[in-house]
Amino acid sequence: MTTKDLSLTHLIRPSSLSGNAPLLLMLHGYGSDENDLFSFAGELPDEYLIISLKAPHSLQPMGNAWYAINFDAQQGKFSDVEQAIESRELVKTFIEEALNAYPIDPENITLLGFSQGTILSFALGLSYPHLLKNIIGLSGYVDPNMLKAGYETNDFSRLKIYNSHGKVDQVIPVEWARNNKPFLEQLDIDLTYEEYPVGHGINPQNFQSFKNWLEKQNN
């Protein structure tokens, strides 16, 4: 079911529970849309209410983005940090709306991001850790420029992160992802980090691993 009733267009898969369901909120990558990660929904735990968001910025000829990327920038790919922060706040607002609109357990919210969606998930989770229980970050990295000022003093004690990356990723170098581990561990965040022999994508082993990790969080 696609709905636009809230501030962001989204797809939704209901939970098997009658109420107080854990929420899995999906954030797609640059140039994709809400249908991409939602293709996983049927294989993920039934108790989760799954929402897949559509990013607010349309791209030509197709697809959407959370923020603009200037691929011609001299220093490599240049991210529009201002737009990213706007999207960070937009997703925060959406979560607050969803808590009122759907039968969600406010203490059990997981973000699942891919690529640009992972970068934004990290930006949101590290800026507002009280909102989230888990982050599953696939093929992305932490951009400190997108974090809310003073994030270092946040309480990260209940936040858990699963992060994975392809060893031969040609879009986001694996070295960028490897920087996540020391950055997140310095904040005393419970982190699982894995690498797989793939490019910018998710292989079956990677999928099974993050699925197993997610299932353990509710046991």
- Residue 166 sits in a domain whose CATH number is 3.40.50.1820
Q: What is the mean pLDDT of the chain?
A: 93
pLDDT cut 90: percent of the chain above it: 88
Cβ–Cβ under 8 Å, residues 124 and 37:
no
Angle of helix 81-101 versus helix 116-127 axis, rounded to 10: 70
The two structure tokens encoding residue 174:
């694996």
The residues, any chain, with a CB within 8 Å of residue 37's CB and separated by 6 or more, are: 26, 27, 28, 52, 112, 114, 117
Kindly state the average pLDDT of the residues 89-115: 96
Number of folded domains that form the chain: 1
Mean pLDDT for the stretch of residues 68-77 = 68
What confidence score (pLDDT) does residue 77 get? 65
Q: Parallel, antiparallel, or unpaired: how do β-strands 160-166 and 2-3 relate? A: unpaired
Give the pLDDT confidence of 117-151 residue by residue, as tens digits: 999 999 999 999 999 999 999 999 999 999 999 99
Instruction: For 199-214, write each residue's pLDDT tens digit.
Output: 999 999 999 999 999 9
- Parallel, antiparallel, or unpaired: how do β-strands 21-27 and 78-79 relate? unpaired
Residue 127's pLDDT is what? 98
Give residue 202's region: left, alpha or beta (phi > 0; psi -120 to 50).
beta
Residue that is written with structure tokens 């694996």 in the block: 174
Say if residue 2's pLDDT is above 60.
Answer: no
Buried b / exposed e across 120-140, counting CB within 10 Å, b at 16+? bbbbbbbbbbebbbbbbbbbb
**pLDDT category of residue 39 using cuts at 50, 70 and 90:** very high
Say if residue 166's pLDDT is above 80: yes
Determine the pLDDT at residue 105.
97
Predicted TM-score of the model (pTM): 0.94
| pLDDT band with cut points at 50, 70 and 90 for residue 219 | low
Q: 155-166: buried (b, 16+ CB within 10 Å) or exposed (e) per residue? A: ebeebbbbbbbb
Residue 72 confidence (pLDDT): 67
Distance CA 208, CA 219 (A): 17
Q: Quote the domain boundaries for residue 140.
A: 2-217
pLDDT at residue number 19: 87
- The values of phi and psi at residue 109, to 5°, are -115, 130
Supply the pLDDT for residue 76: 58
- For residue range 177-198, list pLDDT tens digits in order: 999 999 999 999 999 999 999 9
Cis peptide before 45 (omega within 30 of 0): no
Q: Among 24-28, 63-67, 73-77, whose mean pLDDT is lowest?
A: 73-77
Beta bridge partner(s), residue 24: 50, 110
